[in-house]
Structure 1
Amino acid sequence: MRLKILLSAYACEPDKGSEPGVGWNFARHMAERHEVWVLTRSNNHQAIEDELTRNPVPGLHFIYHDLPAWARFWKRGQKGVQLYYYLWQLTAIPVVRQMHREMKFDLVQHVTFVKYWAPSALAFLDEVPFIWGPVGGGESAPLPFWPSFGLRGIIYETLRSLARRLGELDPFVRRTARRATLALATTPETASRLRRMGVQQVKIFAQLGLSEEELTLLSALPNSSHNTIVFLSLGRLLHWKGFHLGIMAFAKSGLSDAQYWILGDGPERRRLERLAKQLGVTDRVHFFGQLPRTAALELLGQCHALIHPSLHDSGGWACMEALAAGRPVICLDLGGPAVQVADETGFKVAARNPDQTVAELAEIIRQLGTSNDLWRQMGNHARQQVQQNCCWPNKVKVLSKLYRAR
């Protein structure tokens, strides 16, 4: 039986990554099994309608909502986006109530933003099962790592922790937690916070997924033809991404003929370049800056393994893509990457303090750098795991079973 489902997806846009991609793929593939209505922002209208004109999706309907122009003149790009998102949820309450009166939904689900410490308009529909998530954001960088962030990083972490705590105390967020029939948490850390807020049923469910086209593209990347081992990190160069740990571990590994490629840009780049110089590895650590996706995938195809030492990450897109490409992942045993990486597909390092973490990362880098069979074997397991767990049709199939159990 096809259910009538209402999704809240503030971020939802075709052919995009990150949260807009989560919203679009969630809705697109859920409509293959159910009749789906999606509440999203009005500025997503053109991209969505253009895509549906080219590729119609039966059973998929969109409703567009935004604050009136006079109430959003102050929002410019990403500036003010968190406050705007909060207001968008509250002003959407009468919209979803009216929709439910007309359509009589069987179930409603909040999809994006993937953020547990903000309210959802769907929590104000009292008479229908409400699934909250996937939501994340409950991850925190362990305190022993804070001194390595510098003053700016410490201020960021302090403000983030304060904002998150205030969100947990917000009466609208508390109502969202109480109303959730089921919460889908992206990580165990978020799951713990949701339970403390009063959510009765919580399940770990990653928000990340790949389309069949993306899986085909990534799995087709050949094994590296480099004679020397190449490690790669990919992402914005931010303090909490832990690239400094990767550089220190690479230097400590003692692999004189290996290379470490860092793709991405951000405020930490100069500090990371100075660190590589101080450690005497500038000839083997290469910064490529921000690259187009095609160029980044080409370099991914030339590497042997991904180093992803993020200290608080709800997802880990780079990890998922590397695994799909058959590259083992070296990550910390924290957040989303730790959920994705299994013993057969990579390594998870405990993050107790910087010295211990760097030492264990260095040993793993050394191990992979001296064993061709190991990274190949892990890479084959990685491809199989992603095909099974991260393909959007398979993820939606799992969710559909949860729907029927409500």
Structure 2
Amino acid sequence: MKQKIILATTYAVHPTRGSEDAMGWNYVLQIARFNKVICITRENNQKAIEEFITLNPKPIFDNITFVYFDTPYWMRFWKRGSRGAMIYYWIWQRSLPAFVKKQNLQFDIAHNATFPNDWTPSYLWKLGKPFVWGPIGHHPLIPSQYLEPFSKKYWITDRLTWLVKNAFWKLSIGLKRTAKKADFIYAMNSSVKDKIKLQNGKYCIRPSIATQDFGFDPNYDIENFNVISAGRFVPLKGFDLTILSFARFVKNLPKEAQNNAKLTLVGKGPEEKYLRSIIKKQGIIDKVEFIDWIEREDLMNLMKSSSLFLFPSHEGAGMVVAEALSFALPVVCLDNCGPGELITPKCGIAVKQQTYKNTVLNLSEALLELYNNPKKHWNMRVEARKHFEETFHWNKRGEWLRNIYEQVY
């Protein structure tokens, strides 16, 4: 196949950070495996990118040209960190076509690769070349019962954010035009098709997340049952459900087996004090370990020595799920459009969203099921690793993108 030149816009891209920045970086690398890439990103990413390439020279970087763009200072002086990020992202996107034309960049396909949200427009279709949009998606509305234990501010913020998203989905002419003009849309979960009009044959629904293979050791600690979870301590991540279901699980074990169960929580956030209070009230302080944010390699080592990944998050994706699967960890989560769509019944258990009390009950029953059935636990470990290799290895994203580009050009 003849190499194409892909103009990839990646608002968030960084070689050493995680989350959105890591996704942007890895998508660019995967595109460059098969095609030339002109990557347009923000000027504040330039220093880190150029330093990394200098210190880590690789042939693949010969396929990538980084172009740095930001609007004039007077259009962004008010932006501070994440404050105003989505507004500035919209301004940045809207300014891109004029910048690309002014630079006289030559390319075959325009690809809006990050941010992965489906409620702000892209304007790359104005460049008159085949246009790929995605991965795109959104965090769903958090069911009210899961916000009740927390401050009312979280419910208000979640509902206001949802109103803004719906206003874009229903009223934004730019968003409707983006969806109509896109030659292909890469949707990251099934909820996208409920909000964006997708044209038959011009879209796919596949996970946006992926991870590297950090190495898999088939031998694991069968004497202990080490449950792990990771993320920011906010209501979105469902750590209250994690703790309460683990507490019930432990209390239903025989006395002699309770010492073999442990929960490790990796992360930090504004609700840590509240989560610690739940642990104290449940009487499981000696069975739960908090670990502050650590280097990704250290987190991977923790996963490697764990038995199961418990992640009742309400988000629309979940990078840590892919990482857990890479270490053959069965995943217990909620049956939603986020983590619930990232697993299969062969490699994890997705618990139906229901009353708060019953959710805790069923999450704990899932833990007990895998603890009491070592054969099923082992089979799920095998399937988890297989699911990672077939779906969540970064190389799979490169192959998918190559096929999409062949379809549109």
> What is the TM-score with the length of structure 1 in the denominator?
0.91
**Counterpart residue type for residue 219 of structure 1:** F
Could you say if the C-alpha distance between residues 159 and 346 of structure 1 is closer, same or farther in structure 2, counting changes exceeding 3 Å?
Answer: same
Counterpart Cα distance in 2 of 1:218 and 1:350: 32
Q: Which residue does 1:66 correspond to in 2?
A: 70
Which range moved further: 199-208 or 241-250? 199-208
Residue 223 of structure 1 deviates from its aligned partner by 4.2
Inter-partner Cα distance in structure 2 for 1:291 and 1:59: 32
Q: For residue 146 of structure 2, what is the amino acid of its counterpart?
A: F
Distance, in Å, in 2 between the alignment partners of 1:96 and 1:170 is 24
Q: How many residues align?
A: 395
Aligned partner of 2:401 in structure 1 is 399
What percentage of aligned pairs have identical amino acids? Answer: 30
Go from structure 1 to structure 2 and tell me whether the alpha carbon gap of 1:52 and 1:288 turns closer, same or farther (over 3 Å shift): closer
Residues 286-337 of structure 1, C-alpha deviations (whole Å, 9 max, x = no match)? 32233333432332223210100001x2221111111101111101111331
Check if 1:219 corresponds to 2:216.
yes
Whole-Å separation in 2 of the counterparts to 1:179 and 1:149: 42
Show the counterpart of 1:390: 392
Structure 1 counterpart of 2:10? 9
The structure-2 alpha-carbon separation of the partners of 1:138 and 1:304, relative to structure 1 and needing over 3 Å to count, comes to closer
Q: What's the CA shift string for 1:262-300, capped at 9, x where partnerless?
A: 111111111111122222322323322333334323322
Find the partner of 2:332 among 330, 333, 337. 330
Secondary structure, counterpart of 1:348 in structure 2 = strand
Give me the whole-angstrom Cα distance separating, in 2, the residues matched to 1:279 and 1:295. 29
Aligned pairs for 1:29-48 (under 5 A) are 29-48=30-49
1:81 aligns with 2:85: yes
Question: How far apart in 1 are the matches of 2:273 and 2:347?
Answer: 32
CA distance in 2, matches of 1:293, 1:395: 21
Mapping for residues 16-31 of structure 1, pairs under 5 Å? 16-31=17-32
Alignment match, 1:248: 244
Q: Distance in 1 between matches of 2:298 and 2:151?
A: 32
Q: Which residue of 2 aligns with 1:121?
A: 123
1:233, 1:263 within 8 Å by CA — same for their partners in 2?
Answer: yes
Residue type at the aligned position of 2:292? G
Is structure 2 residue 286 aligned with structure 1 residue 283? yes
Q: 1:111 aligns to what?
A: 113
Structure-1 residue corresponding to 2:164: 163
Structure 1 range deviating more: 166-175 or 241-250:
166-175
The 5 Å alignment of 1:157-306 reads 157-168=158-169, 169-195=171-197, 201-210=202-211, 214-215=212-213, 217-220=214-217, 223-225=219-221, 227-253=223-249, 254-255=252-253, 256-257=258-259, 258-306=261-309
Scaled by the length of structure 2, the TM-score of the pair is 0.90
Determine if contact 1:223/1:302 at 8 Å carries over to the other structure.
no
Q: CA deviation at 1:98?
A: 4.1
Unaligned runs of 5+ in 1: none
| Higher mean C-alpha deviation, range 383-392 or range 233-242 | 383-392
Q: State the AA in 1 paired with 2:165.
A: R
Local SS of the residue matching 1:404: helix
Deviation string 1:140-177 (CA, Å, 9 cap, x unpaired) is 22244332343122122112212212332233223222
> What is the Cα-based RMSD across aligned positions, in Å?
2.1
Contact between 1:191 and 1:203, CA under 8 Å: does it hold in 2? Answer: no
Change (3 A) 1:223 1:160: farther
| Contact 1:238–1:266 (CA under 8 A) maintained in structure 2 | yes
Between the aligned partners of 2:262 and 2:53, the Cα distance in structure 1 is 44
Contact residue 144 and residue 155 of structure 2 kept, 8 A: no
The question of whether the paired residues in 2 share the 8 Å contact of 1:107 and 1:128 is answered with yes
The separation in 2 between residues aligned to 1:33 and 1:295, in whole angstroms, is 32
